[in-house]
Copies of this chain bind each other. A is one copy, B any other.
């Protein structure tokens, strides 16, 4: 048996080695299609073509925004997805094996300030083994690893027992409506993997998050007699400090060893402050916008409720807030936290293949950001692990890039994982 495995691994490795150029070209083509929100169609058609070429059953559809918007986990700035299709390809197994869902998002965040890019933000140029361009690391590189893995497995000429479901989704960057649409359509499996940029670490748990907006009220007055007013700017300082205390309290509860090296496992970030409109007036309103981290073991609803309860206690510190309570609303994006037991069978399979390929112990952590994995696990009944070749540090930044070597390495690990998890039809492995 070990010999058989070693042989299989060699076959996979050789196939990947032989197809480096082709796959690099494919990734370059993907990166050259700026698939920002609303512009995913061309890239999704390319994926669909590839899936047809691999003889998968292809399902390409534009999510029904009106229907989807009624789902309690729907979160998107839009509710109309014309021109923004999801693509799913199913590699049917012969039966008797475990199914695996491989999910990656095709949407990329905008390129931002072009002046900060050394090259065209969608160049796909390769320099020193790095492929550059928006989406290279987050997460077209990971998507290509998935497709290479499937093709490498197919190259063995042997069918799988369990099904492999490949999903190329839209809307991850704005709240997961693409993956939600696939869940609603019925796609599920015994386990899932998302190759978001983890720098080859394995994340069985992911921090969820939600955006909030708080409005703090004051009372305006002329700056020369500022004591006649109540500064919303000063009151917002009290609100910020109060939220800091909530962050301390929430993080003190986190005992998960996966967070051992994380100084603030579930941070509450206040990213935007805006108040007042005249230097010599006392401001009567300050708006705060932020992101609340949600622990793997929490639900979004539970975390929201804690925030509301905490804010209601502001008046204990300052009676001003009794008659002028800040309003809290949840807006924009949200990501459901992910939580898979590190002892889960799929974790064991993935770690085993990692060791086989990398000849080292994988780093197991909890991610400081959410992915569509939370939806798959919490809503789609499909335990999802995040593991991918990209680097978080360059995601969403100018000069985003990915090391091609990692794309191939991840493809190899994933191919072996497919084989081990789904099982080959004519072996007992």
Contacts and interface: CB of A to CB of B under 8 A. Distances in A.
Nearest to A272: B276
A276 B273 contact: yes
A281 interface: yes
Interface in A391-408: 392, 396
Interface in A233-253: 233-234, 236-237, 240-241
Interface in A160-183: none
B264 A227 contact: yes
Contacts of A241: 237
Contact of A231 (B264, B270, B281): B270
A342 interface: no
Contact of A209 (B223, B274, B392, B396): B223
Contact of A368 (B212, B225, B236, B271): B225
Contact of A271 (B236, B263, B282): B282
A105 interface: no
A369 B227 CA distance: 13
A135 interface: no
B224 A267 contact: yes
Interface stretch (A61-69, A89-97, A288-296): A288-296
Contacts of A282: 269, 271
A109 to B, nearest CB: 10
A71 interface: no
A233 B270 CA distance: 8
Contacts of A290: 223, 279-280
A292 to B, nearest CB: 9
Interface string A204-239: 000101011100000000111111000101101100
Contacts of A207: 224
B289 A279 contact: yes
A59 to B, nearest CB: 32
A279 B332 CA distance: 9
Contacts of A240: 233-234, 237
A230 to B, nearest CB: 12
Nearest to A368: B224
A291 B223 contact: yes
Contacts of A333: 280
A216 to B, nearest CB: 11
B211 A279 contact: yes
A276 B271 contact: yes
A279 B270 CA distance: 6
A275 interface: yes
A334 to B, nearest CB: 11
A272 B283 contact: yes
Contact of A280 (B209, B225, B233, B263): B209
Interface string A366-406: 01111000000000000000000000100010000000000
A222 B109 CA distance: 14
A359 interface: no
Contact of A263 (B227, B269, B286): B227
Nearest to A289: B279
Contacts of A392: 222
11 contacts: A209-B280, A211-B280, A213-B279, A223-B271, A223-B293, A225-B267, A231-B270, A271-B279, A271-B281, A272-B276, A273-B274
Interface of A: 207, 209, 211-213, 222-227, 231, 233-234, 236-237, 240-241, 263-264, 267, 269-283, 286, 289-291, 293, 332-333, 367-370, 392, 396
